[in-house]
Amino acid sequence: MGRASQNATSFGALLINGDEITASETLNRGRSGRIQVLGNASGLTVTLPTPTGSGAVYKFAVSTDLTTNDYIIACPSGVTFEGVITVVGASTTGFIAAAGNNTITLNGGTSGGDKGTVITIIDRSSTVFVVEGVSAGAGVVVTPFSTV
């Protein structure tokens, strides 16, 4: 798995209970309730576990600005997102997940993903994750949601 550390992870000056993710991985349900710190300047992909409607919460916080590639949060097959991510850059816009959107791509610029970004994802049903978040970006912002 791509976890550099467990339990106490430094997020800036804040010490939090979570896991630092430094390489692409698929989360398991045991990671709910813990903060997943995205900390690889070269980007990575995190695939969420298959939802069950349990209400499990997966929280992501970006601790390292991207220099290449993207931070990607992906749903498993047949699962989509509902909800809003507000991206703050030269403009600020709240983007609503469209029908069928199953991927969040944070590019470290127009779709956000800079240090300080926080995204919360809730297991709502066997086919839907609810998402809310605020993402630090740059320039004229664009939606981080897509269908892959």
Q: What are the tens digits of pLDDT across the range 3-53? A: 444 444 444 444 456 889 999 999 999 999 999 999 999 999 999 999 999
Query: pTM here?
Result: 0.90
Indicate the SS3 state at residue 30. helix
Domains in the chain: boundaries:
3-146
Residues 6+ apart with CB under 8 A from 36: 18, 19, 21, 27, 46, 58, 59, 60, 61
Phi (first) and psi of residue 108, to 5 degrees: 75, 10
**Rounded Cα distance, 67 and 144, in Å:** 17
Q: What are the tens digits of pLDDT across the range 58-116? A: 999 999 999 999 999 999 999 999 999 999 999 999 999 999 999 999 999 999 999 99
